Amino acid sequence: MPIDVKDLHYIYFKKTPFHADALNGVNFHIDNNKFVAFIGATGSGKSTIIQHLNGLLIPTSGEVKVDDFILTSNKRKNKSISKLRKHVGVVFQFPEYQLFEETVEDDVAFGPKNFKVGKEEALLKAHQALLSVGLDESYFKRSPFELSGGEKRRVAIAGILAIEPDILVLDEPTAGLDSRGCEYIMSLLKKMHDDNKTIILVSHDMDLVNKYCDYVYVVDEGKIVNQGSPKDVFVSQDLKGDLEIPKIYYFCRLLKEKGIDLDINSINNLDDLMNQIIERIKK
């Protein structure tokens, strides 16, 4: 399902004293089966963009098109929002706060049930989703509130996965997790991506973005100010919006300052960096 966003504007609290322009003309196109990240400073409008993708926010002006679904400021045309939500699953920041059922499996099955899936089938889907996030049968009947933070987050993500969306949107999925938890979630997303799903991510962790994403959008003051592959964005241009760059590129930069110039364009990950350094030492 391709996503097409044209000249998207969004204003919070329009016509009130709290008026705030959140988005000022955002354009982008995301093809099928991409792994995309939106990065930018806090308050730059990333989360606002994301909430348009499944109709939680309606554009003030402009157009959001997901496959055949079109969202515009004209409210009467936006009838199929609940269908859209079946195809675009949004996982919010700290999703563990959305858990409410008595058992883990019921909570995960809540989503499919809302989309008119039968009870048995919903439970089946819930079990599949839970297994795919690495929670085995022993968790199914437990209360979601007695799990650890990382486990809760996985249950919450499973709650969206069980709906079987084609596009998975996540707002800071790794916030507040330890490095092992982060890697676990990201490898999970990688797996979803290999299963032909589109993954859209908002993140502040540039290392993870660099490692996993194919394409990066830099958002600043409600506009996309920069885009490209992670390497292009992090290496070639100066980064707007006070973002830090991934550690490996930062390390390269430090080396360069000390007079050791590596071929930065052929470095994509830690292994490349190590190999280049080893070669240098051998010489």
Partner 1 sequence: MNSISFGRYVNYDSFVHKLDARSKILFLICLMIMIFMPFSVWSTSLIFSLIYFVLLIVLMIMSHCSFLSFLKGILSMWFLFLFLIIIFIFVPNPNMSSVLLYQFSDNYAIYWDGVYQAGYIFLRLILMMSLTLILTATTKPLDLTYALEWYMTPLKIINFPVHTIAMMISIALRFIPTFLDEAQRIMKAQASRGVDFSRGGLFKKMKAVISLIIPLFISAFEKSQQLSDAMEARGYDPNSKRSKYRKLKFHLKDLFSAIFVFTLVGFIMYLSIAHGNIDVIDFVFGVKVGF
Tokens representing residue 84 in the block: 């859209």
Specify which residues 4 forms β-bridges with: 29, 65
- Among 85, 87, 193, 197, interactor with partner 1 by CB under 8 A: 85
d(CA 17, CA 31): 39
Quote the least distance from Cβ 82 to partner 1, whole Å: 6
The only residue of 40, 59, 62, 95 in contact with partner 1, by rule CB under 8 A: 95
- Residue from 62, 111, 173, 181 touching partner 1 (CB under 8 A): that is 111
Q: CA 186, CA 174: separation in Å to the nearest integer?
A: 8
142 within 8 A of 152, measured Cβ to Cβ: no
Question: What is the C-alpha to C-alpha distance for residues 115 and 128, in angstroms, rounded to an integer?
Answer: 17
User: CA-CA distance, 21 to 26, in Å (whole number)?
Assistant: 12
Binding positions for partner 1, 143-182, rule CB under 8 A: 145, 159-160, 163
CB of 110 to partner 1, least distance (A): 6
Looking at 15-23, 200-208, 232-240, 273-281, which segment touches partner 1 (CB under 8 A)?
15-23
Order of all β-strands in the sheet with 198-202: 88-91, 167-171, 198-202, 35-39, 215-220, 223-228
The minimum distance between CB 131 and partner 1, in angstroms, equals 19
Cβ–Cβ < 8 Å for 218, 239: yes
Among 30, 99, 155, 209, which residue sits at the site for partner 1 (rule: CB under 8 A)?
99
Site string for partner 1, 40-79 (x = CB under 8 A): -----------x--x-x-----------------------
Q: Applying CB under 8 A, does 7 fall inside the site for partner 1?
A: no
DSSP 264: G
- Residues making contact with partner 1 (CB under 8 A): 13, 16-18, 51, 54, 56, 82, 85-86, 89-92, 95, 97-100, 110-111, 113-115, 145, 159-160, 163
